[in-house]
A and B are shown apart, each in its own frame.
Chain A
Amino acid sequence: MAKTAQAKQYKLKKNRNLSSVVKRSIPGWLIILPSLALFVFIVWRPIAIGIRYSFFSLRGFEPVEFVGLKNFKDVLTDTNFIQTLQNTLQYVLWSMIIGFPLPFVCAVMMNEMVHMKGYFKITTYLPVVVPAIATSLIWKMVYMDGPGGLLNMVLYYFGVEPMQWLSNKNIAILLIIISTTWNGFGGTLILYLGALQGVNQELYEAARLDGAGFFGRICHVMIPHMRGMLLLMAIRQIIGIFNITEQPLAMTGGGPSGASMSLGLTNYFYAFKYGQYEKSLALGVIVFCILAILTYVYFKLDKRVNE
C-alpha cells in the first residue's frame, strides 16, 4: 500500500506544471471560496480601510486630510506610551506564567480521573458562562481593601494586617490576570481535554514497556502530541492578552495612576472616550506590528512542529 502511495507522490511531483497544479487545486479553491469571501468582506476589507485611515485626520470617521505619520508620532510620543507597553508585556508575562499552564495541568489531571470527572468538567466551566457583570461583583468582594475584603478576611484569620490589593501598583496587573484566568481557563481546558483524548493510547503502553515513568510519559508521549495545540493556544493567549481591554476597564479603569493601563485600554480611550479615531487606528497598527513579529516566531515554531 505504502508503495502505491509513494508512486503516486512521485508521479505528482513529476507532472508539476502549472495546469496540473491548477487542476489539482480547483476543488480546494471552490470549497474554501465562501470562507474566503467572508474573510474579505468581514475582516480584511475593514482592516485595510482602518490602516488607510490611520494616515488621515478624521472627523468622526470621515477622512479629512492626509497627515502622513502624524497619528503614529502622536501615539508614540505620548508620555505614557512606554509605560503602557511595559504594562501590556507584564500582562502577557503573568498570563503565560499563570493562565497558560493552569488549564493544561488541569486537563491532564482530569483526563486521568475516574471519579467525579463529569463534576470537574462542569464546575471548571462555570466561570466561563457567568456574565461579566456578575463576576466583577465577585472579584470586587475578593480584592476589596480594608477589613471587609475577602482576601483580607483570610489574612486576618492568620493574624496578618489588611493589605491593599488593586490599589497596589505593583500587583494590580497580577490580580487582574488571576481573575481573568479564573474567568476563562475552562474554555481552554475543554480544548486540551479534547486533544488529550486523541493521544494514541498504545504509545503510553509502549513507553511503559520502555520503562518510562509518569513524567517520562508526559514528556515523550503526551507533550509531543499536544505541541501543536499548546502552541496555538499560547499564541492565541498572547494575542488576547495583548489586546486586554475589558478586564482592566472594569476592575481598575487602568489605575492606580496608569499602573494597569494596557494598550487595548488606551485604544478604547482614544476611540470612545476622546473621540480620536485616527489615534486609535494608528495604535491598532502599531500593536499589529508588534504582534506580527510574535506571529512570525509562531509560524517558525509551528512549521517545525508540523514537520
Chain B
Amino acid sequence: MAEKTARKKNTRFSDKTDGLLNYSELKTPKFKLLYWTMFLGLFIVSLICLLPVLWIAVSGFKEVDEMYAVPPTLLPQTWNFGRVCAVIAKVDLVKYLKNSIILIVGCWACDIIINGLAGYVLSRLKPAGTAFLETLIFWSMLLSGMSMVPLYMSFVDVPLLHINLTGSYVPIWLMAGSNAFNILLFRNFFNGIPMEYLEAARIDGCTNLGIFSQIIIPLSKPIIMVVTIFSIIGTWGNFFWPYLMLGNTEKEPISVMLYRLSSGSSNLMDNEYMLLMMLSVIPMIIIYAIFSKRIIGGLDMSGLKG
C-alpha cells in the first residue's frame, strides 16, 4: 500500500486508499473517465439534494404571499432578518433545545447499549433459543402500526407496576431500546467480524470483558457511529410519541413544539413558522457533519485489513 504513505489532505488520487479502483488504475485514461463520470453523477445527485433545501431554507425570509407565489421566486425580494429575532423572541428555543438534548442522550444510550448488546448476544453468544428470538424480533418490525393505542395505554398505566409514565422522558427512551432494526444492524455487523479474532484473543487469555472492550468495541466504531447518527437525527425529528408523552409539560422537545405550533391557532405567520423549522434543522446538519467524518475514521482503524 504505497499510496497510503502520502498523507496529505484528500484531494489527490495518490491519497486514494485501495478500493474498487486503485491509484495505479486511475492513471489510465479509461479509469480516469470512469472516475470523472461517477464524480459527475454524484455531483448532479448532490445538486438535486442541495438546491431545493437551500431554496426552502431562505423562503422563510419571504413575505407569505411571495412564499407561496406561483411561479415561485428564487430568492426573497427583500431579506428581512428581523424576522429571525421576532421568531426567537416568541419561542424560548433554549428551553426546548435543552429538553431535546436530554431526550436524545437517553435515546442514544438505549439505542447503543441495549440494542448493541442484544445484537451481540444474537450474533456471538448465541444462547439456546436464538433463532426463535431473532424471528420474534424481526417480526415485530412488521406490526409497528397496530400497537399504538394499547402501547399508549400501557404507558399511562404500566402493567404490574401501575405507575403513570406520561410527562416523563422514560417511555421514549424505552422505545428506543426496543428498536428491532438497530438490533439487526448490530447483529449483521458482528456477524461480519471474523471468528478467528475472537478465538485468537481467547487463546491469548482474554476474558469475555477483554474481548468485548478490546476487540468488539474498537471494531464496532463504524456501526456505532451510524446508529448514533440515526438515533440523534431520528429522535430530534420524532414528534408523535414525544407529543403524547411530553406535550403540555415543561419537558417538550423541539419537535413537539414545532408540531404543536403547526396544528394549533398559534400566533405565528406561516413564514415565521418556516423560519423556525429551518432554524431547528441547523444543529442536526452540524451534528451530521461531525459524525459522518467519523464513519471515514472507522475505515482506518478497522482491523479487517489485517
Smallest CB separation, B251 vs chain A (Å): 20
Say if the beta carbon of A117 comes within 8 Å of chain B: yes
Chain A residue numbers with a CB within 8 Å of B89 are: none
Chain B residue numbers with a CB within 8 Å of A135 are: 52, 56
Chain A residue numbers with a CB within 8 Å of B39 are: 109, 113, 115-116
Q: Mark A36-76, 1 if CB is under 8 A from B, else 0.
A: 10110111111101110100000001000000000000000
- Give the residue among A27, A28, A146, A280 with the most B Cβ atoms within 10 A: A28
Smallest CB separation, B138 vs chain A (Å): 7
A-B pairs, top 9 by smallest CB distance, nearest first, are A28-B127, A284-B146, A25-B127, A46-B147, A148-B70, A28-B125, A46-B150, A35-B118, A123-B46
Chain A residue numbers with a CB within 8 Å of B122 are: 32
Main secondary structure of the interface of A (DSSP, over half): helix
Give residues in B with beta carbon < 8 Å to A: 10-13, 15-22, 31, 34-35, 38-39, 41-43, 45-50, 52-53, 55-56, 59, 70-72, 114-115, 117-118, 120-122, 125-130, 133, 135-151, 153-154, 159, 174-175, 177-178, 180-181, 183-185, 188-189, 191-192, 196, 199-200, 203, 208, 222-223, 225-226, 229-230, 233, 237, 258, 262, 274, 277-278, 280-281, 284-285, 288-289, 292-293, 295-296, 298-299, 302, 304-306
Q: Mark A274-307, 1 if CB is under 8 A from B, else 0.
A: 0001001100110010011001001100000010
- Give the residue among A119, A191, A306 with the most B Cβ atoms within 10 A: A191
* Selected interface stretch from A87-95, A125-133, A166-174: A125-133
Taking A134-B277, A284-B145 as contacts, is the C-beta distance between A106 and B295 under 8 angstroms?
no
Smallest CB separation, A297 vs chain B (Å): 12
Known pairs A36-B118, A150-B71, A236-B141; list 5 more (Cβ under 8 Å): A21-B128, A27-B208, A32-B133, A41-B178, A109-B42
8 A–B contacts, CB within 8 A, in A order:
A39-B140, A43-B140, A44-B140, A50-B146, A197-B302, A201-B19, A204-B22, A217-B20
Which A148-181 residues sit within 8 Å CB-CB of chain B? Answer: 148-150, 153
Say if the beta carbon of A96 comes within 8 Å of chain B: no
Say if the beta carbon of A260 comes within 8 Å of chain B: no
Taking A109-B41, A113-B42 as contacts, is the C-beta distance between A126 and B49 under 8 angstroms?
yes
Taking A42-B151, A122-B288, A148-B71 as contacts, is the C-beta distance between A292 and B191 under 8 angstroms?
no
Say if the beta carbon of A234 comes within 8 Å of chain B: no
Shortest Cβ distance from B153 into A: residue: A61
* Bound form: Cα–Cα A295–B140 in Å: 11
Smallest CB separation, A173 vs chain B (Å): 20
Taking residues whose C-beta sits less than 8 angstroms from the other chain, chain A's interface range is: 35 or more
Smallest CB separation, A110 vs chain B (Å): 6
- Contact indicator B298/A24 (Cβ below 8 Å): no
Say if the beta carbon of A210 comes within 8 Å of chain B: no
- Contact indicator B280/A214 (Cβ below 8 Å): no
* Bound form: Cα–Cα A298–B48 in Å: 33
Say if the beta carbon of A228 comes within 8 Å of chain B: yes
Shortest Cβ distance from B293 into A: residue: A118
Chain A residue numbers with a CB within 8 Å of B223 are: 194
Shortest Cβ distance from B299 into A: residue: A197
* Bound form: Cα–Cα A217–B19 in Å: 10
Main secondary structure of the interface of B (DSSP, over half): helix
* Bound form: Cα–Cα A122–B22 in Å: 24
Which A220-246 residues sit within 8 Å CB-CB of chain B? Answer: 222, 225, 228-229, 232, 236, 239, 243, 245
- Contact indicator A182/B71 (Cβ below 8 Å): no
Chain B residue numbers with a CB within 8 Å of A284 are: 143, 145-146
* Bound form: Cα–Cα A63–B158 in Å: 20
Chain B residue numbers with a CB within 8 Å of A228 are: 188, 191-192
Give residues in A with beta carbon < 8 Å to B: 1, 4-5, 21-22, 24-29, 31-32, 34-36, 38-39, 41-47, 49-51, 53, 61, 106, 108-131, 133-135, 137-138, 141-142, 144, 146-150, 153, 182, 186-187, 190-191, 193-194, 197-198, 200-202, 204-205, 208, 214, 217-218, 222, 225, 228-229, 232, 236, 239, 243, 245, 264, 267, 277, 280-281, 284-285, 288, 291-292, 295, 298-299, 306
Taking A44-B140, A130-B281, A138-B52 as contacts, is the C-beta distance between A187 and B178 under 8 angstroms?
no
* Bound form: Cα–Cα A26–B199 in Å: 20
- Contact indicator B145/A130 (Cβ below 8 Å): no
- Contact indicator B53/A24 (Cβ below 8 Å): no
* Bound form: Cα–Cα A194–B192 in Å: 12
Question: Contacting B10 at CB < 8 Å: which of A114, A148, A217?
Answer: A114
Question: Contacting B185 at CB < 8 Å: which of A110, A112, A191, A193?
Answer: A191
Chain B residue numbers with a CB within 8 Å of A218 are: 20
Shortest Cβ distance from B171 into A: residue: A42
Taking A22-B128, A122-B292 as contacts, is the C-beta distance between A131 and B258 under 8 angstroms?
yes
